């Protein structure tokens, strides 16, 4: 409520005023002293709804409540992020040569493009380190975006390396494996930076008695197991999906060896379109499984089997 | 299956990379997209909850084989008491049971009313519930405000370790409880009836008669008991004087509580209605303790009355009505007075609790009471003070409204009403003493 005429002398307010025998209504008085009819701010309870970005990060973009010093679990996760960051930076440098980058297209100079690409990778790594150390979602988000930006290249459909120290350029399978490992590391980096924030929040909530965790070792243990198992599974499955140019000819070879040979030597199948085709087929199958409500049936089967035991 | 925003973001990113990879002929992008898809698929299929469904139906609509993971979880709750007083503590025990043969990692949140404060323990628990096991979760809430409350439902969530997919279910287990307004111990209210009733009791009615408290001195008449002679007065005046005692009787006490919407002006925990209900509860307890007959009228959008009665049971009836008083409506006091006047004994003490705002009939209504020789006491918690303390009105507005309020109070005092402007930090006993001129 604001008053339009701030004054210590209130005498003028009584000029020509009829004293009533009942208390006036608030609205009338509000009208007389030029007040607004807004709802007082403190009458509305504060409701904290996380923004879209906050929910993506698993925690607040700008931490409103200060995290308590990291627990051992969080420190381990931070160490994991640092390790992955180093590996990711090296792999990003290796698999994203300056040719084909946006910088190369803009400047036309390989040297300048290389420098800019290196600055981008270094920037992604630096902000990643800082964001993880400070547990600040803004920096980790920036780091994630920079890593994605670093691999956006107008490249040929074949994988090329900027630095072939291990001599992988002539070994297509190992080259594919390297890219898969890079992709898995990138996902794990997303997940671990997210985990640092999530577990920092959880740890703070536990220590401030907002949340009670029964048997935390088991819960944390399950997360650790998932951190180990999921990347391995993802690597294996992705390798299968990406090996469409060898798997498809194998099945076709049962019917016709000539066609299988032609497929193996087909440029389309070993190109990015071949990969995309294989991926499309595999995910059609996965989508079908979901459409058939397989997860629910799987769960029911597991429950029934456990009940039977 | 419920996608979290994180999984939605990863899914969108994968699709974008996949399409961008095809457009830019960049196999790295396609590979990353494939890995993200695989990661999401694996989490959805085997990520610990594994009871996700593609149908998009709500969890509580599921039956039979569907949603097996959450259908096998049940909850029960026990409260330490169904009735407590404001600022009291309530111990809540939640019993979670897993009827399945598989262990589950559950997030459990037992919903408590917003005004409650968790004092001990937690209502939000993350736990692993073993196969065919149950666990007890105990926590204590502090109840700062009167009212009817309900604890529940229990929200249960199962999600994969990465928080990509989750499934939620509300277990509709509710427990109701009542928070009575807190009471102040009163030693004396200075409210006495002028009208005797048939049964003698503990209340002085300001008339000489058989009783225990001194009333006045008078000259000795034949037939007076020698034990009543005041020898000191005789020594002073040289005349035989006898002590007169005040007559005891059971009184009818009527308490009127203003529960109009304007009574809730001010902060939630400090407003006229909160003060009025606490005062009414304290007064009811005091008068019932004196074996008086107490009736309560609460008016807002309707007139709710508790008929006069005595005893402990009456106290609980009154407390229940006061706990449920909600600030609503704007019935004028005159309507209330017109309705109750024929039903109350002439001369009964009437205690009116109101902030005296927004009702032009107050003066006439109280004049009607006074004209019929009712002993009227008005305690008026000042909404102005509450709002000023909460910095919702500025000094000028406060001064204007305060002056008008003072004028109204003076006018009522002129009618013979015992009235006291009850400031927020004043004890009820002090306010009552002030109203009665002590």
State ipTM. 0.73
Nearest to B45 among A153, A155, A295 (CB): A295
Sole residue written with tokens 């009543």: B228
Backbone angles phi, psi at A248, to 5 degrees: -60, -50
On the question of pLDDT at B284 being above 80, the answer is: yes
Chain A residues within 8 A of B45 when measuring between CB atoms: 294-295, 298
Chain A residues within 8 A of B29 when measuring between CB atoms: 151-152
pLDDT at B194: 57
Find out whether A84 and A189 touch, Cβ atoms under 8 Å.
Answer: yes
Round to whole Å and give the CA distance between B138 and B125.
Answer: 10
The alpha-carbon radius of gyration of chain B (Å, integer) is 33
Q: What is the CATH number of domain B59-180?
A: 2.60.40.10
Nearest to B38 among A212, A237, A290 (CB): A237
Nearest to A183 among B5, B31, B265 (CB): B31
Q: How far, CA to CA in Å, does B85 sit from each of A51, A202, B81, B150? A: 39, 34, 10, 15
- Give the strand order in the sheet containing B349-353: B303-309, B293-299, B252-258, B349-353, B375-381, B418-422
The alpha-carbon radius of gyration of chain A (Å, integer) is 30
Residue B139: CB partners within 8 Å, gap ≥ 6? Answer: B91, B92, B94, B110, B118, B120, B121, B122, B123
Backbone angles phi, psi at B21, to 5 degrees: -60, -40
How many CB atoms neighbour CB A288 within 10 A?
A: 10
| Closest to A140 measured CA to CA, from A190, A198, A82 | A190
Q: Exposed, middle or buried: residue B49 (CB in 10 Å: 0-12, 13-18, 19+)?
A: buried
Q: Do A179 and B28 touch (CB under 8 A)?
A: yes
Find out whether A151 and B28 touch, Cβ atoms under 8 Å.
Answer: yes
Residue B138: CB partners within 8 Å, gap ≥ 6? Answer: B91, B92, B93, B94, B121
Closest-CA distance, A126 to chain B, in angstroms, reads 22
Round to whole Å and give the CA distance between B223 and B200.
Answer: 23
Backbone angles phi, psi at A223, to 5 degrees: -65, -45
Chain A interface mutation, best of B26, B43, B268, B327, highest count of A Cβ atoms under 10 Å: B26
Q: Do A155 and B25 touch (CB under 8 A)?
A: yes
pLDDT at B49: 42
Chain A interface mutation, best of B14, B22, B39, highest count of A Cβ atoms under 10 Å: B39
Extract the tokens encoding A187: 């996902």
Which residue of A lies nearest to B23 if distances are taken between CA atoms? A154
Find out whether B327 and B234 touch, Cβ atoms under 8 Å.
Answer: no
Nearest to B396 among A3, A23, A180 (CB): A3
Extract the tokens encoding A78: 């931070």
Round to whole Å and give the CA distance between B275 and B63.
Answer: 50
Which residue of A lies nearest to B268 if distances are taken between CA atoms? A43
Q: Do A13 and B396 touch (CB under 8 A)?
A: yes
How many CB atoms neighbour CB B220 within 10 A?
A: 16
Q: Do A303 and B390 touch (CB under 8 A)?
A: no
Domain ranges across chain B: 2-46, 59-180, 208-245, 252-435
Q: Do B24 and A153 touch (CB under 8 A)?
A: yes
Asked whether this chain's domains B59-180 and B252-435 adopt the same fold, the reply is no
Question: Can you give B339-394 as a three-state secondary structure string?
Answer: HHHHHCCCCCEEEEECCCCCCCCHHHHHHHHHHCCCEEEEEEECHHHHHHHCCCCC
| Closest to B65 measured CA to CA, from A77, A282, A118, A296 | A296
Chain B interface mutation, best of A8, A23, A280, A284, highest count of B Cβ atoms under 10 Å: A23
Round to whole Å and give the CA distance between A287 and B54.
Answer: 10
Q: Could you please report the per-residue DSSP string of B76-120?
A: EEEES-SEEETTEEEEEEEEEEE-SSS-EEEEEEE---TT-EEEE
pLDDT, mean over chain B: 82
Round to whole Å and give the CA distance between A148 and B17.
Answer: 9
Q: Could you please report the per-residue DSSP string of A23-36?
A: PPPHHHHHHHTT--
Chain B interface mutation, best of A137, A299, A304, A308, highest count of B Cβ atoms under 10 Å: A299
Find out whether A56 and B5 touch, Cβ atoms under 8 Å.
Answer: yes
Closest-CA distance, A303 to chain B, in angstroms, reads 6
Nearest to B37 among A13, A225, A283 (CB): A283
Round to whole Å and give the CA distance between A231 and B18.
Answer: 20
A with B: how many residue pairs have Cβ under 8 Å apart? 281
Round to whole Å and give the CA distance between A204 and A209.
Answer: 8
pLDDT at A13: 42
**pLDDT mean over A4-12:** 44
Angle at which helices A110-134 and A172-207 cross, to 10°? 30
On the question of pLDDT at B112 being above 70, the answer is: yes
On the question of pLDDT at B62 being above 60, the answer is: no
Round to whole Å and give the CA distance between A28 and A22.
Answer: 13
Residue B358: CB partners within 8 Å, gap ≥ 6? Answer: A23, A24, A25, A26, B260, B262, B330
On the question of pLDDT at A16 being above 50, the answer is: no
On the question of pLDDT at A75 being above 60, the answer is: yes
Q: Do B127 and A213 touch (CB under 8 A)?
A: yes
- Distance of alpha carbon B405 from the chain centroid: 27
| Closest to B214 measured CA to CA, from B243, B254, B256 | B243
On the question of pLDDT at A226 being above 80, the answer is: yes
Dihedral over alpha carbons A8, A11, A15, A21 (to 10 degrees): 100
On the question of pLDDT at B52 being above 50, the answer is: no
Residue A71: CB partners within 8 Å, gap ≥ 6? Answer: A199, A203
- With an 8 Å Cβ cutoff, is B311 touching chain A? no
- With an 8 Å Cβ cutoff, is B100 touching chain A? yes
Q: Do B26 and A154 touch (CB under 8 A)?
A: yes
Residue A59 pLDDT grade (very low, low, confident, very high; cuts 50, 70, 90): low
Q: Do B45 and A294 touch (CB under 8 A)?
A: yes
Round to whole Å and give the CA distance between A54 and A137.
Answer: 8
| Closest to B170 measured CA to CA, from B73, B265, B98 | B73
Find out whether A136 and A127 touch, Cβ atoms under 8 Å.
Answer: no
Residue B248 pLDDT grade (very low, low, confident, very high; cuts 50, 70, 90): low
Residue B67 pLDDT grade (very low, low, confident, very high; cuts 50, 70, 90): very low
Residue A308 pLDDT grade (very low, low, confident, very high; cuts 50, 70, 90): low
Q: What is the CATH number of domain B252-435?
A: 3.40.50.410
pLDDT tens profile A182-192 = 989 999 999 99
Q: Do A153 and B135 touch (CB under 8 A)?
A: no
| Closest to A303 measured CA to CA, from B323, B101, B296 | B101
> Within chain B, what is the greatest distance between any pair of CA atoms?
126
Q: Exposed, middle or buried: residue B410 (CB in 10 Å: 0-12, 13-18, 19+)?
A: exposed
Which residue of A lies nearest to B358 if distances are taken between CA atoms? A25
pLDDT tens profile A82-104 = 999 999 999 999 888 888 888 88
Find out whether B148 and B176 touch, Cβ atoms under 8 Å.
Answer: yes
- With an 8 Å Cβ cutoff, is B37 touching chain A? yes
pLDDT at B334: 92
pLDDT tens profile A98-135 = 888 888 888 888 889 999 999 999 999 999 999 999 88
Q: What does DSSP say about strands B124-129 and B147-151: parallel, antiparallel, or unpaired?
A: unpaired
Q: Degrees (nearest 5) of the Cα angle B434, B368, B263?
A: 55
| Choice between B39 and A302, residue whose per-residue pLDDT is larger | B39
Nearest to A179 among B31, B45, B126 (CB): B31
Chain A residues within 8 A of B361 when measuring between CB atoms: 22
Find out whether B349 and B254 touch, Cβ atoms under 8 Å.
Answer: yes
Q: Do B21 and A55 touch (CB under 8 A)?
A: no
Per the DSSP assignment, residues forming a β-bridge with A232 are: none
Q: Do B128 and A219 touch (CB under 8 A)?
A: yes
Find out whether A197 and A139 touch, Cβ atoms under 8 Å.
Answer: no
pLDDT tens profile B131-162 = 888 889 899 999 888 889 999 888 888 878 88
pLDDT tens profile A232-282 = 888 888 787 777 667 777 888 888 888 888 777 776 666 767 777 777 777
Per the DSSP assignment, residues forming a β-bridge with B309 are: B294
Residue B92 pLDDT grade (very low, low, confident, very high; cuts 50, 70, 90): very high
Find out whether B167 and B2 touch, Cβ atoms under 8 Å.
Answer: yes
Extract the tokens encoding B356: 């005296």
pLDDT tens profile B312-351 = 889 999 999 999 898 888 899 999 999 988 888 777 889 9
| Closest to B129 measured CA to CA, from A219, A202, A212 | A219
pLDDT at A248: 75
Sign of the Cα pseudo-torsion (A97, A103, A107, A111, in order): negative
Q: What does DSSP say about strands B165-171 and B124-129: parallel, antiparallel, or unpaired?
A: unpaired
Extract the tokens encoding A237: 């499955």
Listed range (B3-7, B85-89, B246-250, B422-426) with the worst mean pLDDT:
B246-250
């Amino acid at each position: 409520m604001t008053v339009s005429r701030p004054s210590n002398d209130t005498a003028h307010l009584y000029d020509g005023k009829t004293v009533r025998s009942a208390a006036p209504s608030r609205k009338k008085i509000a009208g007389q002293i030029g007040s607004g009819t807004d709802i007082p701010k403190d009458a509305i309870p504060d409701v904290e709804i996380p923004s879209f970005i906050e929910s993506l990060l698993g925690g607040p973009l700008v931490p409103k409540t200060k995290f308590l010093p990291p627990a051992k679990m969080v420190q381990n996760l931070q160490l994991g992020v640092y390790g992955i960051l180093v590996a990711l930076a090296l792999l990003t440098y290796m698999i994203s040569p300056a040719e084909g980058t946006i910088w190369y297209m803009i400047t036309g100079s390989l040297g300048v493009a290389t420098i800019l690409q290196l600055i981008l990778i270094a920037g992604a790594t630096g902000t990643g380190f800082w964001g993880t150390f400070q547990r600040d979602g803004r920096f980790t988000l920036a780091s994630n975006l920079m890593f994605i930006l670093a691999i956006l290249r107008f490249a040929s459909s074949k994988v090329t390396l900027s630095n072939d120290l291990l001599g992988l350029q002539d070994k297509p399978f190992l080259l594919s494996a390297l890219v898969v490992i890079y992709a898995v590391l990138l996902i794990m980096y997303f997940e671990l930076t997210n985990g640092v924030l999530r577990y920092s929040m959880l740890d703070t909530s536990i220590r401030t008695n907002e949340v009670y965790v029964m048997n935390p070792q088991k819960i944390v243990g399950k997360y650790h197991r998932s951190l180990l198992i999921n990347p391995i599974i993802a690597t294996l499955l992705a390798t299968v999906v990406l090996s469409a140019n060898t798997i498809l000819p194998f099945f076709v070879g049962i019917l016709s060896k000539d066609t299988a040979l032609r497929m193996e030597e087909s440029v389309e199948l070993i190109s990015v379109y071949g990969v995309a085709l294989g991926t499309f087929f595999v995910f059609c199958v996965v989508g079908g499984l979901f459409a058939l409500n397989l997860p629910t049936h799987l769960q029911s089967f597991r429950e029934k089997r456990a009940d039977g035991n | 299956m419920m996608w979290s925003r994180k999984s939605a973001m990863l899914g969108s990113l994968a699709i974008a990379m996949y399409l961008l990879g095809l457009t830019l002929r960049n196999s790295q992008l396609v590979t990353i997209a494939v890995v993200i898809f695989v990661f999401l698929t694996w989490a959805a299929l085997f990520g610990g909850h594994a009871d996700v469904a593609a149908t998009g139906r709500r969890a509580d609509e599921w039956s039979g084989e569907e949603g097996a993971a959450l259908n096998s979880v049940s909850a029960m709750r026990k409260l330490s008491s169904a009735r407590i007083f404001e600022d009291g503590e309530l111990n809540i025990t939640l019993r979670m049971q897993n009827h399945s043969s598989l262990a589950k990692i559950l997030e459990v949140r037992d919903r408590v009313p917003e005004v409650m404060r968790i004092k001990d323990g937690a209502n939000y628990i993350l736990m692993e519930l073993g196969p065919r096991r149950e666990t007890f979760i105990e926590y204590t809430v502090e109840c700062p405000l009167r009212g009817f409350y309900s604890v529940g439902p229990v929200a249960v969530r199962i999600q994969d370790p990465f928080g990509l997919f989750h499934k939620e279910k509300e277990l509709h287990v509710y427990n109701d409880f009542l928070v009575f307004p807190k009471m102040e111990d009163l030693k004396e209210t200075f409210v006495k009836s002028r009208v005797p009733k048939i049964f003698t009791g503990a209340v002085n009615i300001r008339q000489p008669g058989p009783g225990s408290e001194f009333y006045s001195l008078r000259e000795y008449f034949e037939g007076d008991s020698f034990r009543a002679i005041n020898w000191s007065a005789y020594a002073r005046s040289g005349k035989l004087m006898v002590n007169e005692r005040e007559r005891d009787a059971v009184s009818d006490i009527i308490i009127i509580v203003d529960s109009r919407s304007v009574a809730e002006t001010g902060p939630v925990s400090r407003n006229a209605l909160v003060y009025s209900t606490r005062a009414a509860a304290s007064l009811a307890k005091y008068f019932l303790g004196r074996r008086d007959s107490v009736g309560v009228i609460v008016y807002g959008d309707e007139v709710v009355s508790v008929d006069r009665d005595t005893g402990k049971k009456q106290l609980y009836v009154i407390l229940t009505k006061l706990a449920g008083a909600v600030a609503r409506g704007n019935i004028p006091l005159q309507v209330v007075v017109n309705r109750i006047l024929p039903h109350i004994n002439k001369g009964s003490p009437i205690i009116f609790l109101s902030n005296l705002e927004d009702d032009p009939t107050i003066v006439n209504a109280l004049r009607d009471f006074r004209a019929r020789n009712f002993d009227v006491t008005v305690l008026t918690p000042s909404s102005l003070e509450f709002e000023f303390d909460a910095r919702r009105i500025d000094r000028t507005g406060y001064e204007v409204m305060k002056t008008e309020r003072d004028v109204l109070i003076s006018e009522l005092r002129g009618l013979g009403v015992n009235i006291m402007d009850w400031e927020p930090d004043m004890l009820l006993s002090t306010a009552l003493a002030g109203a009665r001129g002590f």
